[in-house]
Structure 1
Amino acid sequence: MQTALFDLPETPPEHAVVARFHLDCDDLGDPDQWSLVFAAERSMGAAVKAAGVGEVDGNEFGGGEVVIFAYGPDAETLYRAMEPGLRALPFRPAHAVLRYGEPVDGVVTERIEL
């Protein structure tokens, strides 16, 4: 018995790479730091697009840190495309969290120190 009007393929779960960098202040950073982040983000976005592994989705400044978000079907391949750009940013301490699935309780994650 058919329960749906259409047999649509299931959408694979979205994986993520979320990278956090400590800035040299307790707030939003300064224009020089923003420029470095924006340039790295453009470079990583181009690398991710060229590899066809997802998208770099933006950043968030605040609380003395910057967070960069990226999404795609496989966190490991997404991270590999982004890794040179992430490691090039000078802000430390820093780490990336690879999330292997949707953001729900119990989803597998991996933390990589940068």
Structure 2
Amino acid sequence: MAHYRLSDDQYGSPAEREDIYDAERVMTAAVEAAGVGEVDGSEFGGGEAVLYAYGADVGALFKVMEPTLRGLPFSPAHVVLRRGSRESESRVEL
């Protein structure tokens, strides 16, 4: 899950939402081409955007998505990498 802080306390600006949707399309194509999982959509609310993706090898999945995730202009931002359960998650600052 990639978490991004938006410019307001609700759903962000139309331009911010479009940036997230564009990134989602780019990552969907890259993840499918690499065969490492799937991008499962995004969610907006509470001043945050969250992108969801799943795959058997979280490291390979993140490697494919990382350039696009780091290219988004929102800050602060972080990614939660979960291997199985919540107890086995790690956090990457973007």
Q: TM-score range by the shorter chain?
A: over 0.9
Tell me what 2:93 maps to. 113
Mind listing any 5+ residue stretches in structure 1 that lack a counterpart? 1-17
Q: Deviations over 1:73-96 (max 9, x none)?
A: 011100001001100110000000
1:49 shift after superposition: 0.5
Q: Deviations over 1:62-112 (max 9, x none)?
A: 0000000000101110000100110011000000010001xx453x11100
1:30 shift after superposition: 1.4
Per residue, is there more helix in 1 or in 2?
A: 2
What RMSD, in angstroms, separates the aligned Cα atoms of the two structures?
0.9
Tell me what 1:7 maps to. none
Write out aligned runs for 1:8-47 (5 A): 18-47=1-30
Mind listing any 5+ residue stretches in structure 2 that lack a counterpart? none
Q: Deviations over 1:13-63 (max 9, x none)?
A: xxxxx0000001000111111111000010011110011000000000000
Distance in 2 between the 1:99 and 1:92 partners? 22
Tell me what 2:37 maps to. 54
Distance in 2 between the 1:65 and 1:31 partners? 13
Q: What TM-score results when the alignment is normalised by the length of structure 2? A: 0.96
Aligned sequence identity (%): 54
Q: What TM-score results when the alignment is normalised by the length of structure 1? A: 0.80
Tell me what 2:70 maps to. 87
Query: Residue type matched to 2:93 in 1?
Result: E
Aligned residues: 94
